[in-house]
Amino acid sequence: MFQTIKNAWNIPELRKKILFTIAMLLIYRIGCHLPVPGLIGAAFEVLVEGNKLFGFMDMFSGGAFSNMSLFAMNIQPYINASIILNLLTIAIPALERLAKEGEEGRKKITQYTRYLTIGLGLFQASMLFITLKNYDVLYDGGTIMSFLTVVFTFCAGTAIVMWLGELITDKGIGNGISMIIFVGIISRIPTGAAVLYANWQNGKLGATAIETILLIVGLLVVMLGMIVGTVYVSGATRKIPVNYAKKVVGRKMYGGQSTHIPMQVNMSGVMPIIFASSITTLPSIIINFVAPNTENKFLMALQKTDSWGFLLIYAALIFFFSFFYTMISFNPVEVSNNLKKNGGFVPGIRPGKPTAEYLAYVLNKITWFGGLFLALLATIPSVLARIVGIQIGFGGSALLIVVGVALETVKQMESQMLMRHYKGFLD
């Protein structure tokens, strides 16, 4: 991996992209510490420490949420807007046709996503303002001027983060949104370590030294297993053999070659976890808006990230988005039609509809495994922490995103260097 980065740095074009990405991420981190006028940040930080779901949101925002800074809402409205637009693209024929129009169609859908992001940003910022008012962390108690200032500042912060993410995707290295979340999580590692240290100081990691050592070793083994598993599944591929019919043109013979269609077990990457994490934060915002002092056990359970109900919903969402994102990324009918046009066929399968059905069958099988794998890895650390009765401060979702984004970024570097005849770590 380090050799890959070194080789990439030696290429002027890639070096510019790396420096540009670092610059954009630095701007993002600065924005995470710019305070919003009218808020008592210290009071809200104490509130976040006592609310597990707020802490979950804070981890993905890189501390911006607990700071109540310019980027407190982070990229969440943009992710929700992307989910809604993708669902509408499947449900509405006009949007589906627009998505198939190539680059121009994608640009229009991207523009619609931006508009929807601003709309959702205003909505979520308004609910967040009411939540802040309910918890009495506003200097003036919540006047109209305070409402306008806080809501539009939060919404502007979301627009800036969205813009930074798009700039990284277009002119930098990696997926911009994933990189922003990646950096936010990395910045919270010291906080997670501090939580573990505090647990150790308070004797929560075991009554005796042996119990403490066993818990720490067990935690390290689980984390190492997750990293190895993520790397393994990220590279796991089902290869569908494809043969091409021979063609005689004049005196020359073309075709007759054999190749394969690589179908990744985890085709969706870390996006299901990012989508699920974004969706699970909405109930807390709505509950704090509608019933801030509720004593309903079900509503209270939705705000506890270590409750069985929350973990079950979270795992189900990850599994669902694995299928959802894979369905968007890979179209069996389109692949089948392209094979048929170019004289390709899967051995033993008739071209056309039978090939599309076969590809869909294989895709569903491997996505089942990939979705279950992601859901299990994302929830196992929280389940173990609940059983043992400790806070680890760094969940499975965060670890999966960090490892997954790092792998995807390195692969992107590798693919760009391959075009320039460079060899790296993944060869």
Distance CA 337, CA 84 (A): 28
Answer for the pair 311, 379: CB distance below 8 angstroms, yes or no: yes
C-alpha–C-alpha distance, residues 268 and 322, integer Å: 6
pLDDT in tens, 290-336: 666 666 666 666 666 677 878 888 889 999 988 888 888 788 888 88
Assess whether pLDDT exceeds 70 at residue 145.
yes
Under CATH, to which class is 190-394 assigned? mainly alpha
β-bridge mates for residue 261, sequence order? 240
Would you kindly state where each structural domain of the chain is located, as residue ranges? Answer: 1-187, 190-394
Please give the pLDDT value at position 388: 66
Residue 60 in contact with residue 74, Cβ under 8 Å?
yes
Decide if pLDDT at 286 tops 80: no
Tokens describing residue 399: 């670890």
> In this structure, are residues 326 and 271 in contact, taking their beta carbons and an 8 Å threshold?
no
Give me the pLDDT at residue 395, please: 65
* Main-chain dihedrals φ then ψ at residue 349, nearest 5 degrees: -120, 130
Q: Which amino acid is at 255?
A: G
What pLDDT is attached to residue 381?
75
Percent of the chain with pLDDT over 70: 79
Domain 1-187: assigned CATH number? 1.10.3370.10
**What pLDDT, on the 0 to 100 scale, is given for residue 426?**
47
Encoding tokens for residue 54? Answer: 């707020």
Classify 343 as helix, strand or coil.
Answer: coil
* 1-187 and 190-394 agree in CATH topology: yes
* Count of other CB atoms within 10 angstroms of residue 190: 10
Q: For residue 242, what are the CA distances in angstroms to 124, 126, 360, 362?
A: 49, 54, 16, 14
**Does 422 score more than 50 pLDDT?**
no
Identity of residue 358: Y
Of 155, 157, 70, nearest to 118 by C-alpha is 155
Per-residue pLDDT band at 114 (split at 50, 70, 90):
very high
**328/409 Cα distance (integer angstroms):** 21
Give pLDDT tens digits for 367-412. Answer: 998 889 888 888 887 777 777 666 555 666 777 788 888 888 888 8
**Model pTM above 0.85:** no
pLDDT surpasses 80 at 40: no
Separation between Cα atoms, residue 297 and residue 11, nearest integer Å: 57
Residue 318 · residue 273 · CB < 8 Å: yes
150 vs 47: CA distance, rounded Å: 18
